[in-house]
C-alpha cells in the first residue's frame, strides 16, 4: 500500500516536471516579435568572492542608443564582456532577436552580429586602415584591398565617417584610429555595437562628430550600447540609460525624463553635490618658473617645444591637451625624470628665498636641494606605486632612505598607511594588502595621500581622476583644493574639460608639445579650449 502511494506520488512529480519543462521550453522557444535586438535576463557573474554582476536585466532595441552608466567597478565592462563572448555568465539568459543564445567565444558573438569597440584599440600600427579592417576575415581567395577600400568608403559615406582607407595607422590621430575600429566591426556586419568609453580620448569637437555618426547608425536601425560615466554625454546622446551600481542593476530610465542629479543618485546610491568649490588664490607667489623647455624624445620627435609658464603658490594650474601632446614629458621633466635639450626650471624656495634651477637634476638631487615636489604620475601602478607591494611598503617608497640603519623602519610607514586608510576612506582589508588588489579609486587615494603627506610646495598630478568613480573623484578634487589653500602650487593635468574649467584658476593648453594658450578658468569655455587643443604651432602628428 505504502509502495503504491509512493509510486503514485513519484509519477505525479514526474508529470508535473514534464509539464513544467514543456511550459518552459515553449516560453523560451517562442519567437517574440519585438524590436528588441538583445535582451539579458538575470545575468550573474562572480569572480571568486566578488560579485561583478548580479541579476542584471537589460534590453536594447533596434534603432536605439542605450547608455550603460555606472561607476568604476560597477560591472559595466564585465557585462559587456559577457555579451561579446569574453566571459561566460554564471547564470542567466541572453536573447538575441527574441531567441535564447549561448555566447561562448568572441567568434560566437561575431556570428550574432555583435561588435565591440574596446577602449584600447587593437590595430596593427604599420598596416593601413583597409588592411586592418579586413585582417582576419575568412574569405576565399586573395585579399582584394581595392574592393575592400571601396566597401569601406561605402560604409563611411553611409554614416558620415571621414576615413582614408590607405592611411597607415601610425600616422593617424586617436579619433581616426577609433573610426577604423568602428568601421572594422561594421564591415563585419555588426548590428549590435558596444562602445567602451569611446569619448575618453577625444576632444569635444571629435566627440560631437562621433555622436553624429552614432545617431546616424541608430537611425539606420542598429542597436548601440555605450559604456560611459560622463553624465552630460549620456544626456545628449542616448535614448535610454541603464544604471548599474556595485554589480547590481538599478534600473533603466528614458533620457528625456531624467537629469544629471537623478542619474548620479541612481549611480552612487545617494545624493551628492556635483559642484566643485573654487576659492580665490590667496597671496599667490611665483613658485615654479618654467622657461622655454625643449625636448626631443628617443624617436627624434620633438615632444616639448619651447614651453614656458609659471606655477604660483595657492593656485591650481590646469593643463589641457589631447592625450600625448607632451603632458607626460613636461611633468617628468620637472620631476627630474626627463632629459631636456634646453630651457630652465626655476624653483623659488619659500623657506630660503633662493632660486634653484632643477633642470638636469635627478629626483634625489632635487630632494636634497630642499625642494618639496610631489608628483602623482599618470601611470599609478607602473610608476607611482608598486602593485605587488602592500600599502605599507608603498608608503616607504618616498621615505625608506631616512636614517643611517641598513634596515628598513616599517613603523612610520605603517602609521602613515593606517592614517591614510582612515582619513581618505580607502577600502581595503588591511594595510598589508597589495595595492594592485585595490580598485582604481583606492589606489589613487593611496598614491595621492602619500604624495600629500610629504607636505609639498609643488604638487603635480597627472590625470588624477582617470577611471575614478564620482565619490573618489570629488575626494581627489577636495584634496587638491585643500592643498591649494595651504599655499601649494598645484599643477593638474586633466582630460575632462568640464572639470578643468570648474576646478582650475588658470588653464594652460598644449597642443603637439607647445603652449597654444593660457586661459582663465573662470571665464574660459569648453569650445575655446577645444580649439586651442587642436591648434598646433608646427607639424606634429595631429597637425
Asked if 333 contacts 340 with a C-beta cutoff of 8 angstroms, the reply is: yes
Check residue 10 for interaction with another protein (CB under 8 A). Answer: no
| Contact string (CB under 8 A) for another protein, positions 336-355, x = contact | xx------------------
Which residues 6+ apart lie within 8 Å of 415 measured at CB? none
Query: Out of 51, 386, 454, 531, which residue is the one contacting another protein (CB under 8 A)?
Result: 386
What is each CA distance from 168 to 300, 326, 539, in whole angstroms? 20, 22, 17
Report d(CA 74, CA 64) in Å as an integer. 23
Query: Out of 146, 170, 232, 401, which residue is the one contacting another protein (CB under 8 A)?
Result: 401
Q: How far is the CB of 396 from another protein (least distance, A)?
A: 7
Query: Out of 49, 273, 275, 283, which residue is the one contacting another protein (CB under 8 A)?
Result: 49
Number of residues that bind another protein (CB under 8 A): 47
Check residue 377 for interaction with another protein (CB under 8 A). Answer: yes
**What is residue 141's three-state secondary structure?**
coil
Indicate the residue among 370 and 538 with the shorter CB distance to another protein: 370
Report d(CA 517, CA 529) in Å as an integer. 8
Indicate the residue among 287 and 361 with the shorter CB distance to another protein: 361
Query: Out of 63, 350, 363, 440, which residue is the one contacting another protein (CB under 8 A)?
Result: 363
SS (H, E, C) 467-489: CCCHHHHHHHHHHHHHHHHCCCE
| Contact string (CB under 8 A) for another protein, positions 435-474, x = contact | ----------------------------------------
Stretch that binds another protein, among 156-164, 217-225, 293-301, 376-384 (CB under 8 A): 376-384
Asked if 489 contacts 508 with a C-beta cutoff of 8 angstroms, the reply is: no
386: DSSP letter: -
Query: Out of 11, 32, 111, 277, which residue is the one contacting another protein (CB under 8 A)?
Result: 111
Check residue 8 for interaction with another protein (CB under 8 A). Answer: no
Indicate the residue among 90 and 164 with the shorter CB distance to another protein: 90
Report d(CA 283, CA 278) in Å as an integer. 15
Residue 510, CA atoms < 13 Å, CB-side half-sphere: 27
- CA-based R_g, the chain, Å: 27
Q: How far is the CB of 406 from another protein (least distance, A)?
A: 5
Check residue 104 for interaction with another protein (CB under 8 A). Answer: yes
**What is residue 234's three-state secondary structure?**
helix
Stretch that binds another protein, among 13-21, 195-203, 309-317, 349-357 (CB under 8 A): 13-21
Could you please report the per-residue DSSP string of 278-289? -PPPPS--EEEE
The span from the first CA to the last CA of the chain, in angstroms, equals 92
Stretch that binds another protein, among 52-60, 97-105, 212-220, 273-281 (CB under 8 A): 97-105
Check residue 487 for interaction with another protein (CB under 8 A). Answer: no
Indicate the residue among 170 and 437 with the shorter CB distance to another protein: 437
What is each CA distance from 388 to 72, 394, 416, 430, in whole angstroms? 21, 9, 19, 15
Q: How far is the CB of 125 from another protein (least distance, A)?
A: 22
SS (H, E, C) 302-343: EEEEEEEEEEECCEEEEEECCCCCCHHHHHHHHHCCCCCCEE
Q: Which of residues 55-94 bind another protein (CB under 8 A)?
A: 88, 90-91
Check residue 13 for interaction with another protein (CB under 8 A). Answer: yes
Asked if 502 contacts 279 with a C-beta cutoff of 8 angstroms, the reply is: no
Q: How far is the CB of 86 from another protein (least distance, A)?
A: 13
Report d(CA 411, CA 497) in Å as an integer. 41
454: DSSP letter: T
Check residue 99 for interaction with another protein (CB under 8 A). Answer: yes
Beta bridge partners of 519: 507
Indicate the residue among 283 and 407 with the shorter CB distance to another protein: 407
Query: For binding to another protein (CB under 8 A), which residues are involved?
Result: 13, 16-17, 20, 46-49, 88, 90-91, 99, 101-102, 104, 108, 111-112, 335-337, 362-364, 367, 375, 377, 379, 381-389, 393, 396-398, 400-401, 405-408
Amino acid at each position: 500500500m505504502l509502495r503504491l502511494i509512493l509510486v503514485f506520488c513519484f509519477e505525479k512529480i514526474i508529470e508535473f516536471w514534464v509539464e513544467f519543462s514543456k511550459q518552459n521550453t515553449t516560453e523560451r522557444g517562442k519567437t517574440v516579435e519585438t524590436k528588441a535586438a538583445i535582451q539579458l535576463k538575470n545575468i550573474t557573474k562572480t569572480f571568486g568572492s566578488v560579485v561583478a554582476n548580479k541579476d542584471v536585466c537589460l534590453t536594447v532595441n533596434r534603432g536605439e542608443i542605450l547608455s550603460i552608466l555606472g561607476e568604476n567597478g560597477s560591472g559595466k565592462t564585465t557585462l559587456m564582456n559577457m555579451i561579446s563572448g569574453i566571459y561566460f555568465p554564471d547564470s542567466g539568459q541572453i536573447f538575441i532577436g527574441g531567441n535564447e543564445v549561448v555566447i561562448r567565444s568572441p567568434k560566437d558573438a561575431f556570428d550574432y552580429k555583435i561588435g565591440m569597440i574596446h577602449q584600447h584599440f587593437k590595430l596593427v600600427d604599420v598596416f593601413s586602415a583597409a588592411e586592418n579592417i579586413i585582417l582576419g576575415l575568412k574569405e576565399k581567395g586573395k585579399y582584394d584591398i581595392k574592393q575592400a577600400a571601396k566597401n569601406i568608403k561605402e560604409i563611411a559615406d553611409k554614416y558620415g565617417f571621414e576615413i582614408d582607407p590607405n592611411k597607415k595607422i601610425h600616422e593617424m590621430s586617436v579619433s581616426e584610429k577609433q573610426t577604423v575600429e568602428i568601421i572594422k566591426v561594421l564591415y563585419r556586419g555588426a548590428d549590435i555595437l558596444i562602445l567602451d568609453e569611446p569619448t575618453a580620448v577625444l576632444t569635444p569637437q571629435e566627440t560631437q562628430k562621433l555622436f553624429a555618426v552614432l545617431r546616424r547608425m541608430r537611425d539606420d536601425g542598429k542597436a548601440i550600447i555605450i559604456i560611459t560615466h560622463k553624465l552630460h554625454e549620456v544626456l545628449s546622446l542616448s535614448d535610454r540609460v541603464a544604471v548599474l551600481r556595485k554589480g547590481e542593476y538599478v534600473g533603466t530610465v528614458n533620457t528625456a525624463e531624467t537629469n544629471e542629479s537623478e542619474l548620479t543618485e541612481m549611480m552612487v546610491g545617494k545624493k551628492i553635490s556635483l559642484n566643485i568649490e573654487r576659492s580665490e588664490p590667496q597671496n599667490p607667489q611665483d613658485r615654479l618658473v618654467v622657461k622655454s623647455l625643449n625636448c626631443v624624445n628617443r624617436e627624434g620627435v620633438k615632444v616639448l617645444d619651447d614651453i614656458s609658464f609659471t606655477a604660483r603658490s595657492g593656485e591650481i594650474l590646469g593643463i589641457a591637451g589631447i592625450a600625448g601632446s607632451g603632458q607626460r614629458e613636461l611633468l617628468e621633466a620637472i620631476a627630474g625624470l626627463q632629459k631636456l635639450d634646453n630651457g630652465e626650471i626655476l624653483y623659488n624656495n619659500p623657506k630660503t628665498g633662493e632660486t634653484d634651477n632643477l633642470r638636469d637634476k635627478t629626483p634625489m638631487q632635487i630632494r636634497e636641494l630642499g625642494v618639496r615636489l610631489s608628483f602623482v604620475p599618470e601611470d599609478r601602478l607602473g610608476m607611482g606605486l608598486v602593485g605587488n607591494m602592500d600599502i605599507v611598503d608603498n608608503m616607504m617608497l618616498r621615505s625608506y632612505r631616512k636614517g643611517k640603519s641598513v634596515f628598513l623602519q616599517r613603523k612610520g610607514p605603517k602609521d602613515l598607511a593606517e592614517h591614510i586608510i582612515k582619513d581618505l576612506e580607502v577600502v581595503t582589508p588591511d594595510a598589508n594588502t597589495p595595492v594592485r588588489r585595490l580598485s582604481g579609486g583606492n589606489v589613487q587615494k593611496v598614491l595621492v595621500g602619500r604624495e600629500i603627506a610629504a607636505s609639498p610646495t609643488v604638487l603635480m598630478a597627472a590625470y588624477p581622476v582617470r577611471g575614478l568613480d564620482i565619490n573618489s573623484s570629488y575626494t581627489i578634487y577636495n584634496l587638491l583644493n585643500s592643498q591649494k589653500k595651504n599655499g601649494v602650487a598645484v599643477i593638474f593635468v586633466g582630460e575632462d574639460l568640464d572639470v578643468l574649467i570648474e576646478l582650475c584658476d588658470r588653464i594652460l593648453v598644449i597642443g603637439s608639445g607647445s603652449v597654444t594658450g593660457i586661459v582663465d578658468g573662470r571665464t574660459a569655455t569648453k569650445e575655446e579650449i577645444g580649439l586651442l587643443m587642436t591648434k598646433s604651432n608646427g607639424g606634429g602628428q595631429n597637425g
